[in-house]
C-alpha cells in the first residue's frame, strides 16, 4: 500500500511552496452517460495558490467535472495530469493518496462518529500501517494532533467531541473541509462548501478558504456570488456540459455571452 508521509502540519498552515506551480491539468475531458453528454471537452488547469471557481446553472455539469477530477467517475475521453503524472486511470482512493482531496455537495461524513474521529480517520489515511493490528488508534498522537489542528483550522474547535450527526448543516460542511485538510490535499475540490450555510458561517468559510489558498490549488463549485468574487482568481462558466468562458473575474463579469447565458437569468441564482 502506498504511503505518503507528510511533514506534520506544515502543509496545513501554508508552506512557502512555489506559487503558480501547475498542480492539476485536465485536458478535454468528456463524460457521456449513454446518449447524454454531461461534460464535453472540458479543460481545467489548477495552479498552486489560486482559487478556480466553476460556475453554471444546475445541470451544467459542474459536479460531473469534479467527479472526474476526483476519480469518482472515469472520464469517457480526455486526460488528467497531476504534477506532470498521468492520473486518468487512478481510482478515487489512489488520487487521494497522491494529494487530491474533495468534499461533496451532499454532506458525506461519518454521522455516528465524533468530529474528532471523523477527522482522525482522514489523518490516519496518510500513514495507514494496517498490519499494526495491536497498536491503539487513540494512541497515535500524530494523527490526533493533526486532526485537532485541522478541526481548529476549519473553525470547529469548540465541537471536537460532538457526534457529527447532530451538528448543524453548516458545521457539517466545516467538518468536511477539516477532513479534506487532514489528508494534506494539495488540490482541493470543493463542491458547494457554502451551500446551506448562514451568513456568519459563510463568512468564516471564506476566511478559511483565503487562508488555505497560498499553499494549495482549490477548485470551487459555488453559487454564492459574494463568496465567489471574494475568493476567485479564475472563473470558468459551464453551460450544458461545455465551457462557455474561462478567465479572471473581471472578464467574466464583463462577458456578454456569460450575461446572456447565466448572469442575465435572475431566477437561476442561488444566493
Partner 1 sequence: MSSLNSTIFKLAGLALLACVPLTGESFYVELAAKTLVLAIFAMSLDLLVGFTGLVSFGHAAYFGVAAYSVALLSPKYEAASLWYVLPASVGLSALAALVVGLFVLRTKGIYFIMVTLAFAQLAFFVFHDTPLGGGSDGIYLNVKPTAAIAGWVPFDLDNATHLYYFILGALVVVYAFLARILQSPFGRVLVGIKSNEHRMQSMGYLTFRYKLAAFALAGGLGGVAGFLYAVVFGFVTPELLSWHQSGNVLLMVILGGMGNLVGAIAGAFVFTGMQEVFGNWTKHWQLVMGCVIVAAVLFMPGGLSAVPGRIKRALQGGGSNE
Which residue ranges make up the site for partner 1 (CB under 8 A)?
1, 70, 72, 91-94, 96-97, 101-102, 104, 108-113, 117, 120-122, 124-126, 128-138, 140, 143, 179, 183
For the chain, the distance separating the N- and C-terminal CA atoms, rounded to the nearest angstrom, is 44
Task: Give the residue with the Cβ less far from partner 1, 72 or 77.
Answer: 72
Distance set, CA 149 to CA 19, 179, 180, 197, 254 (Å): 23, 11, 12, 22, 41
Task: Give the residue with the Cβ less far from partner 1, 129 or 265.
Answer: 129
Residue 97 CB, shortest distance to partner 1, in Å, is 5
Count other C-beta atoms under 10 Å from residue 199's C-beta.
10
Task: Give the residue with the Cβ less far from partner 1, 103 or 255.
Answer: 103
HEC assignment per residue over 75-135? CCEEEEEECCEECCCCCHHHHHHHCEEEECCCCCCCCCCEHHHHHHHHHHCCCCCCCCCCC
- Cβ neighbors of 161 (< 8 A, separation 6 or more) are 114, 115, 116
CB 187 within 8 A of CB 101: yes
Residue 254 CB, shortest distance to partner 1, in Å, is 37
Task: Give the residue with the Cβ less far from partner 1, 63 or 202.
Answer: 63
Residue 147 CB, shortest distance to partner 1, in Å, is 12
Residue with cell 486518468: 88
Q: In degrees rounded to 5, what are phi and psi of residue 144? A: -65, -45
Residue 82 CB, shortest distance to partner 1, in Å, is 14
Task: Give the residue with the Cβ less far from partner 1, 89 or 111.
Answer: 111
Nearest alpha-carbon partner for 191 in 88, 28, 48, 72: 72
Residue 183 CB, shortest distance to partner 1, in Å, is 6
Task: Give the residue with the Cβ less far from partner 1, 46 or 55.
Answer: 46
Residue 168 CB, shortest distance to partner 1, in Å, is 17
Residue with cell 448572469: 263
3-state SS assignment for residue 6 = coil
Amino acid at each position: 500500500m502506498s504511503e505518503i508521509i507528510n511533514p506534520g502540519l506544515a502543509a496545513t498552515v501554508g508552506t512557502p511552496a512555489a506559487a503558480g506551480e501547475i498542480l492539476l491539468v485536465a485536458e478535454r475531458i468528456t463524460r457521456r452517460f449513454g446518449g447524454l453528454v454531461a461534460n464535453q471537452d472540458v479543460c481545467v488547469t489548477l495552479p498552486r495558490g489560486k482559487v478556480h471557481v466553476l460556475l453554471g446553472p444546475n445541470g451544467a455539469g459542474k459536479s460531473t467535472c469534479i467527479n472526474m477530477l476526483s476519480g469518482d467517475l472515469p472520464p469517457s475521453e480526455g486526460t488528467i495530469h497531476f504534477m506532470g503524472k498521468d492520473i486518468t486511470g487512478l481510482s478515487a482512493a489512489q488520487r487521494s493518496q497522491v494529494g487530491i482531496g474533495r468534499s461533496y455537495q451532499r454532506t458525506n461524513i461519518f454521522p455516528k462518529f465524533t468530529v474528532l474521529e471523523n477527522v482522525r480517520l482522514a489523518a490516519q489515511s496518510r500513514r495507514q500501517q494496517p498490519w499494526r493490528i495491536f497498536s491503539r488508534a487513540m494512541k497515535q498522537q500524530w494523527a490526533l494532533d493533526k486532526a485537532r489542528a485541522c478541526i481548529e483550522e476549519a473553525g470547529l474547535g469548540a465541537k471536537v467531541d460532538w457526534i457529527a450527526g447532530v451538528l448543524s448543516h453548516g458545521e457539517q460542511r466545516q467538518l468536511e473541509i477539516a477532513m479534506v485538510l487532514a489528508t494534506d490535499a494539495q488540490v482541493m475540490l470543493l463542491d458547494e462548501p457554502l451551500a446551506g450555510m448562514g451568513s456568519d458561517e459563510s463568512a468564516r468559510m471564506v476566511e478559511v478558504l483565503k487562508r488555505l489558498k497560498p499553499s494549495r490549488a482549490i477548485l470551487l463549485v459555488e453559487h454564492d456570488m459574494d463568496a465567489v468574487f471574494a475568493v476567485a482568481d479564475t472563473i470558468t462558466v459551464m453551460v450544458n456540459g461545455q465551457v462557455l468562458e474561462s478567465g479572471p473575474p473581471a472578464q467574466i463579469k464583463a462577458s456578454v455571452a456569460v450575461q446572456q447565458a447565466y448572469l442575465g437569468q435572475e431566477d437561476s441564482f442561488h444566493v
